[in-house]
Structure 1
Amino acid sequence: MSRQTGTIIDKTFHSEALQEEVPLLIYLPPAFSPLYKYSLLIAADGKDYFQMGRIGRVADRLLEEDKIENTIIVGVPYRNSEDRWDKYDPDGEKFEAYKRFLARELLPYLEEEYPTYHMGMSRALIGDSLGATVSLMTALDYPHTFGKAALHSPLVNERVMEAVEQFSYPHLMHIYHVIGNKETAVETTRQDVIDFLTPNRELNLLMESQGFPSFFEEIDGGEHTWKSWQADMERTLLWLFGK
């Protein structure tokens, strides 16, 4: 018997904060019905999570096995590498606007369109690398809006560490955090070579000392690629929305 698959809908959303049309990929679970309530996962690097991360296929299987809550997954793709830096980098020109877009524009739109639980712990943000950075920073800015964040190899700098250190509500924020143990010399799209591993270890220690409910693991043999993150997708979804 073939597995039921969810539906992925392409939409476009006009953002006043960003002053642009933002493409969306919206995954609705198999047998989606407006009669039920759904948890919500919003993914930076949205197209990558669906294509390379295969997050929809993983969700299909876990839903069929009744291992995760009914969940709608919304991917927000980036246009190109410069657009990604502008929106996801803490020093990017559109970084503040992108966080506002997620919390004050996209979320209200999604909750008007779809039957979701209007609770922080039923809403999560996810991203890889810079996408993980902006997901974490958005969650820290809006802790009563987003109760969970999943971080695949975030870029961690002083601004990130300061935001975590100064965060007043660590008990409200559940963090899933993985980093590959080979991520010591990662070449970025700007041709910089960055040690991701050491700052991520420091971030984990800071989160532990601050009292964040969190999960952290160094992926053995893990590199800064989708091969590592895709292999981790099942555990990520189980941690975020497992039954």
Structure 2
Amino acid sequence: MNDNKGTMQELIVTSRFLGEDIEVMVYLPRNYSPLSKHQLLIAQDGQDYFNLGKISTIVDDLLQSGDINPIIIIGLPYNNVQERWSKYHPQGELHKQYIRFLGEELVAVLDETFPTFQIGAGRILIGESLGASVSLLTALSYPNTFGKVILQSPFVNEEILTEVQNFSQPHLIEIYQMVGLNETNVKITDGTSENFVYTNRLLHEAFEQRHYIYDYKEDEGDHTWKYWQPSLKRILYKMLTF
């Protein structure tokens, strides 16, 4: 039995922008107290981060060793790949509404429900593939709300590169980006294939040219949780302090 284990609960968030009730997964650390301020780590593909990424176990260990500040993890679900594409992809039917849900509705409920810092540096977005893409675009849309973004193998297209290049306040967001060197022929939702190494290098160059606060890492790995999961402890150790 792990005495350091946090607890899980569910929270229903009603979205006027999306026209639905969203059942959010919530991780509270073992020593959670409403009297102490907590960071927020908000994960797209929340089920995958909890089940495949084992993110709660990693955070349990980091909290126990005192390596990170107290944190609440919010896992956002998706029902199927079509809904995921609609909300996460820049050309998705519900994409803009989903970003407004994250930046306005979700944060308002979380700040009202939990003891949060209510500053950009205290809110971190994380996602893989399209989940990373929508996390980045959300931070660019609400830079005073989300101060850090973790991008695991983000999907990158011209629209995303343009948003990064045109963003006028790159000093407000700290970014961690990673991609695996075997992600050269990744099948995406529409049935086509993308070279994620090439497009991630373009994104890396855009961050560098615009002087973002960021880290970039390439290493061996493919577009699966076998690559993303082992990297999480290292990434969270770096990004969950302020």
TM-score by length of 1: 0.97
Q: How does 1:177-196 map to 2 (within 5 A)?
A: 177-196=177-196
Q: Is the 8 A contact 1:7 1:27 kept in 2?
A: yes
The amino acid that maps onto 2:228 is W
CA distance in 1 between counterparts of 2:65 and 2:219 reads: 25
CA distance in 1 between counterparts of 2:146 and 2:170 reads: 12
Where does residue 92 of structure 1 map in the other structure?
Answer: 92
Secondary structure at the aligned position of 2:227 is classed as helix
Where does residue 234 of structure 1 map in the other structure?
Answer: 233
Deviations 1:181-202 (A, max 9, x none): 1100011233211111101011
Secondary structure at the aligned position of 1:175 is classed as strand
Where does residue 133 of structure 1 map in the other structure?
Answer: 133
Shift, 1:107, TM fit: 0.3
Shift, 1:44, TM fit: 0.6
CA distance in 1 between counterparts of 2:2 and 2:104 reads: 39
CA RMSD of aligned residues (A): 1.1
Where does residue 224 of structure 1 map in the other structure?
Answer: 223
Where does residue 76 of structure 1 map in the other structure?
Answer: 76
Q: Is the 8 A contact 1:176 1:239 kept in 2?
A: no
Q: Is the 8 A contact 2:87 2:93 kept in 1?
A: yes
Where does residue 8 of structure 1 map in the other structure?
Answer: 8
The amino acid that maps onto 1:141 is S
CA distance in 2 between counterparts of 1:229 and 1:128 reads: 8
Shift, 1:11, TM fit: 2.2
In structure 1, runs of 5+ residues without a counterpart are: none
TM-score by length of 2: 0.98
In structure 2, runs of 5+ residues without a counterpart are: none
Deviations 1:158-211 (A, max 9, x none): 000000000000011100100001100011233211111101011001101111
Shift, 1:2, TM fit: 3.8
CA distance in 2 between counterparts of 1:239 and 1:3 reads: 25
**Residue 202 in 1 paired to residue 169 in 2?**
no
Deviations 1:191-242 (A, max 9, x none): 211111101011001101111010100122x100011110111012112113
Secondary structure at the aligned position of 1:36 is classed as coil
CA distance in 2 between counterparts of 1:115 and 1:10 reads: 17
Deviations 1:4-49 (A, max 9, x none): 1001112222111100111100000111001100011111111110
Deviations 1:32-85 (A, max 9, x none): 001100011111111110000000000000000000010111000111000000
The amino acid that maps onto 2:222 is E
Q: Is the 8 A contact 2:150 2:175 kept in 1?
A: yes
Q: Is the 8 A contact 2:17 2:100 kept in 1?
A: yes
Q: Is the 8 A contact 1:183 1:223 kept in 2?
A: yes
CA distance in 2 between counterparts of 1:32 and 1:26 reads: 12
Structure 1 consecutive aligned stretches of length 4 or more whose deviation exceeds 6 Å: none
